Amino acid sequence: MAFAITQNCCNDASCLSVCPVNCIHPTPGEADFGKTDLLYIDPRSCIDCGACADACPVDAITRVSRLTDDQAIYADINAEYYQNKPALAQWDPPKFPPAAVNDFARFDVAIVGTGPSASYTAQALLRVPTSRITFYDKLDVAGGLARFGVAPDHIGTRQISEHFRSLFVHPRVTMKLGVEVGVDITHEEVHRRYDAVVYAVGADSDRPLDIPGIDLPGSVSARTLVGWYTGHPGVRTDAIDLDGIERVTIIGNGNVALDAARILTADPEDLVGTDISSHALAALRRSTVKEVVVAARRGPEFAAFTRSECQALVSRRSVEVAVSGQPEALSVIDDLPISAPASALQGVVNYEGAIPTTKRRIVFAFGRAPVRVNGTDRVESVDFAGATTVASDLVLLAIGYRGTPSPGLPFDVERGAIRNVGGRMTDEDGTTVNGRYVVGWAKRGATGGIGDNKVDAEETVDALLQDLANNPPGPKRRLPRVLARKV
């Protein structure tokens, strides 16, 4: 009986290297890698050894015979990926670091950020015994997106933080928390001190939505909601007020939107014992939210969420899930293949209009392009193209994140990321900036999940090591003592 990869999959491909029969795909060398919700185990080739389950950092791999009723669909999802594919796919060619790494003297790398992309970068660098790493983070706690971006009820996914924790106490690693590069210390100072600097600063602002009323009180970034319920130190405990709120409209339909919808409609007692912030748990216990509308600009065939996130919503018995849209939207959902994100909505109820009086409800409203947020002193409703108006007490903007420019760093305004080619930082005319590198969302824009950062980080580290091999490091200047302490 084969194993199957389930909802928690982080896509970082840790399981691939331990599989003795190459039955987990797509691999980093295949075109589909980074474009699928999950990695998939081929049931035709799996020999049931369990090595992948042991290697998985988020406990996403389970023996098919042990799948729960809610997880059973993943046996079919894994198998469906291999329809019309050969039973034994070609192995990716092996990759090796430059031979010169064996002769490297000690070299020092600063990593700005402590989230997943920063951590995967450190893992790759620590394979070279002469490396020394210093993490910088403007927050007083490490973890970045893995700690403050994952919903508290995604317990499996949050285990990635434990996977990274050992990095922060590694004997060749120094932590400098509460130090913001570009503010407390200049980029140039850090660059002069280290042989290389890797920026893993993520994307800390929202993609703008330029419609009238979007700045009204009661219109809030979903990013703020996420920080509120995860206890982000930069988000006020009173940033979200749920008192008197019955209907919430979320503009956007990515995974952040679904996380928000799930948390707002959850039974608060189910969140006890998770890492949810105490102030959010208290507010949810008082909450009067009865309905959350997830508004998607396009149809269900273009859903931006993953199937796994949607499956987590429809699997709950205590919350009703409904679909609203043109009649053809429902038929489109019925015709979707099992791997399509919105296929998890097959068989859900049609939207009835009135706010429910018993169960809480999540409504997927497809084909709803927002044109105005209405209200006098605060949000009262949202107008969508086609003369549709949805009464709303709270609006959450969840159309994507983007990076923020930092003085002294070249920034690509269109992508919302630091200018780079393959992880090497470049200036405005495309010239490589020696000794400076980029990983994660700061490198490619705010796309992809936690695991996508692993291959991304290894590409950048490969470039870094090749550059060091070609140009061995020179003398470095010490930082002022106040910033050189280990915290």
What's residue 178's pLDDT? 97
Percent over 90 (pLDDT), the chain: 76
Closest CA to 145 of 171, 120, 166: 120
Cα distance between residue 170 and residue 72, in whole Å: 39
DSSP 410-455: -EETTTTEE-EETTEEE-TTS-EEEEEEE-THHHH-S-S-TTHHHH
pLDDT band at 486 (very low <50, low <70, confident <90, very high): very low
Domain 3-81 top-level CATH class: alpha beta
pLDDT band at 353 (very low <50, low <70, confident <90, very high): confident
Q: Could you state, in order of their start, the residue ranges of all structural domains in the chain? A: 3-81, 104-204+402-484, 208-399
What's residue 476's pLDDT? 60
Q: What is the mean pLDDT of residues 95-105?
A: 81
Q: Which CATH number fits domain 208-399: 3.40.1280.10, 3.90.550.10, 3.50.50.60, 3.10.300.10?
A: 3.50.50.60
Give the tens place of pLDDT for each residue, 54-98: 999 999 999 999 999 989 999 999 999 999 888 877 888 888 877
Higher pLDDT, 105 or 374: 374
What's residue 487's pLDDT? 39
What's residue 294's pLDDT? 98
Q: What is the mean pLDDT of residues 147-155?
A: 92
Neighbours of 397 (CB within 10 A): 23
What's residue 484's pLDDT? 42
Domain 104-204+402-484 top-level CATH class: alpha beta
What's residue 117's pLDDT? 96
Higher pLDDT, 394 or 352: 394
Cα 487 from chain centroid? 27
What's residue 474's pLDDT? 63
What's residue 92's pLDDT? 86
* Counts of helices then strands in the chain (DSSP H, E): 15, 25
pLDDT band at 481 (very low <50, low <70, confident <90, very high): very low
Neighbours of 236 (CB within 10 A): 11
Higher pLDDT, 18 or 354: 18
**Which residues, 6+ apart, have CB-to-CB distance to 477 below 8 Å?**
192, 193
Give the tens place of pLDDT for each residue, 164-212: 988 999 999 999 999 999 999 999 999 999 999 999 999 999 999 999 9
Cα-Cα-Cα-Cα dihedral sign, residues 15, 17, 18, 24: positive
Give the tens place of pLDDT for each residue, 412-430: 999 999 999 999 999 988 9
Mean pLDDT of the residues in the chain: 92
Higher pLDDT, 90 or 332: 332
What's residue 168's pLDDT? 95
* Pair 233, 140: CB distance under 8 Å: yes
What's residue 231's pLDDT? 96
What's residue 350's pLDDT? 85
Q: List the beta bridge partners of residue 381.
A: 374, 391
Percent over 70 (pLDDT), the chain: 97
pLDDT of 128 above 70: yes
pLDDT of 1 above 90: no
What's residue 412's pLDDT? 94
Q: What is the mean pLDDT of residues 472-477?
A: 66
* Pair 470, 434: CB distance under 8 Å: no
Cα 266 from chain centroid? 21
Least confident interval from 112-116, 154-158, 267-271, 324-328: 324-328
Ordered alpha helix ranges (H), 89-216: 116-125, 144-148, 155-158, 160-165, 187-193
pLDDT of 330 above 90: no
Cα distance between residue 85 and residue 47, in whole Å: 18
- DSSP state, residue 474: -
Q: What is the mean pLDDT of residues 17-45?
A: 92
What's residue 8's pLDDT? 84
Give the tens place of pLDDT for each residue, 233-275: 999 999 999 999 999 999 999 999 999 999 999 999 999 999 9
Q: List the beta bridge partners of residue 295.
A: 251, 365
Cα distance between residue 487 and residue 140, in whole Å: 9
Measured between its terminal Cα atoms, the distance across the chain in Å is 49
How does strand 360-365 pair with strand 291-295?
parallel
